[in-house]
Amino acid sequence: MDDLDAVLIGAGHNSLACALTLAAKGWRVGVYERAPVPGGAVKSGEYTLPGFRHDWAAMNLSLFAGSQFHKQFAQELAGHGLAFVPVNRPFASAFPDATWLGIEMDQAANRSRIAALSEADAKVWDSLSETFPTRAEDVFALLGAKMKMYALASFLWGLWRRRGMSGALELARFLLASPRAWLTETFVSEKLRAMLGAWGMHLDYAPDSAGGALFPYLEGMAGQAFGMALGQGGADTVTRALVKAIEARGGRVECGVEVTGIEHQGGVARAITLADGRRIAAKKAVIANLAPRALVRLTGGTGDAGFDKRMADYAHAPGTMMIHLAMDSLPDWAAGEALKGFAYVHLAPSLDQMARTYQQAKAGLLPDEPVIVVGQPTVFDPSRAPEGKHVLWMQVRMVPGTILGDAAGLIAARDWAEVADPMAERALDILERYAPGVRAKILGRRIVTPMELEADNPNLVGGDQVCGSHHLAQHFLFRPAPGHADGSTPIRNLHLTGAAVWPGAGTGAGPGYQLAQRLT
């Protein structure tokens, strides 16, 4: 396979989606991945004990299941084994007073729980639920738009025609608001604010980060309307099906090979070089699924000093630590048995606690009370564990990639190799407070530090699972740099893809799919 049309660096889901879309257009493609297995953050394995399958990083596949890419290739991917498990109770939050609040695909049940806290909030929830289809049409149109001036102008013109000036301004104000601003303006209950606000932490939107209101809103409304999708047997059902589909179309996905350089001459990308000495030429495109800083290193510079500086200065979000647990049984939640029925349980009791955690991590401090996301995938997919057993997927959000201190003043070490165990114990202490006796149920555990996440996948700089902050200065037209939100670079035929490119992080495959459409 020496006459490739496109070579792709990295086998994350965006690369694979891009490769399959190009292959479907008749391009000859090759994907080269340094890790021993494909998938990047979307992979699964027996990381604790035999028979217990854990998702390495990404667990929620809702964005992929609902993506335009999946709609185009759903039948083909299903033929290669892709299968989802529907989730009708996507998320809940537990609180220190042994209460909980959750969202399921039952508006009446959700309203009832919210009304128990505030009838005024229940009425607002009714209104938000009623208007969600209209608001979603506008929001999803924006998130699916190409970030070029003409495309953005077309979106704004369409928005003005549909909603008028007042409607367009209302949406603009909403998109610029922080989670706290929108949540406190909209709801009275602090528990409802916290339950929704926890979703901002998944995408680097602390409560006071401008532009973050959209994600608590979307997760709440979409969770009620559509539920959640998990991968049957593990999130790697996506990766395995993508690889098989690419290979069935004559493409190649090669793992365990490191790309050491991007060859370009006369301002045109020609090939990549591998650590084993091979040179892989590309007639039409070299596509790099890389954190922006790595692009300058592999090219030796693009010839555009301004662009190279923006890539070098690209801002990353704080890190995440993962804790994978093989369990004898599910946690006995102090808030009640009902919490055993939700895919996610957030341990994030207030907006103030989330804001403090975020600022501590940004300052290089180990948070004294990090946000904990507890995934219970085996509630809906028992195939991931031996009969009667379970897995827990725990994210510790946020933590610093480079440790400068401990906000609690208890951990003296500054190297993650030494910090991993005591920080995991801090997280488990929090879980124990919400689910007494949970430690006694643990059969095996695997801690994955921010440094291990980055070592496994260099795009996760400092354990940043979203490959770059999504704050307004680095989002929309500015992701990863003005004029390059479509993945273009100053070198002709060299393109960026992945979470660092619009529309950003998540499993929706938008960056890879949009790039492939542009190239064909």
C-alpha to C-alpha distance for 374 and 428, rounded to whole angstroms = 11
State the amino acid at position 393 in one-letter form. W
Residue that the structure tokens 């149920």 belong to:
441
**What is the C-alpha separation between 31 and 271, in angstroms, rounded?**
13
Domain boundaries, the chain: 4-43+57-84+234-314+467-519, 105-226
Report the phi/psi class of residue 468: left, alpha or beta, with left for phi > 0 and alpha for psi in -120 to 50.
Answer: left
438 neighbors 374 (Cβ within 8 angstroms)? no
Q: Are 316 and 468 in contact (CB under 8 A)?
A: yes
In this prediction the pTM is: 0.95
pLDDT tens, the chain, 520 aa long: 468 999 999 999 999 999 999 999 999 999 999 999 999 999 999 999 999 999 999 999 999 999 999 999 999 999 999 999 999 999 999 999 999 999 999 999 999 999 999 999 999 999 999 999 988 887 777 777 776 655 666 666 677 677 777 777 787 888 899 999 999 999 999 999 999 999 999 999 999 999 999 999 999 999 999 999 999 999 999 999 999 999 999 999 999 999 999 999 999 999 999 999 999 999 999 999 999 999 999 999 999 999 999 999 999 999 999 999 999 999 999 999 999 999 999 999 999 999 999 999 999 999 999 999 999 999 999 999 999 999 999 999 999 999 999 999 999 999 999 999 999 999 999 999 999 999 999 999 999 999 999 999 999 999 999 999 999 999 988 999 999 999 999 999 999 999 999 999 999 999 999 999 999 9
Q: Quick one: which of 259, 267, 311 has its CA closest to 461?
A: 311
Extended strands (E) in 76-165: 84-87, 91-95, 99-103
What is the chain's Cα-based Rg? 22
List the alpha helices (DSSP H) in 318-461. 351-362, 416-434, 450-456
Residue 97 DSSP code = T
Architecture of domain 4-43+57-84+234-314+467-519: 3-Layer(bba) Sandwich (3.50)
Alpha carbon distance 98, 379 (integer Å): 21
CA distance 409 to 412: 7
- Strand 371-375 and strand 405-406: the pairing is unpaired
Give the model's pLDDT for residue 435.
98
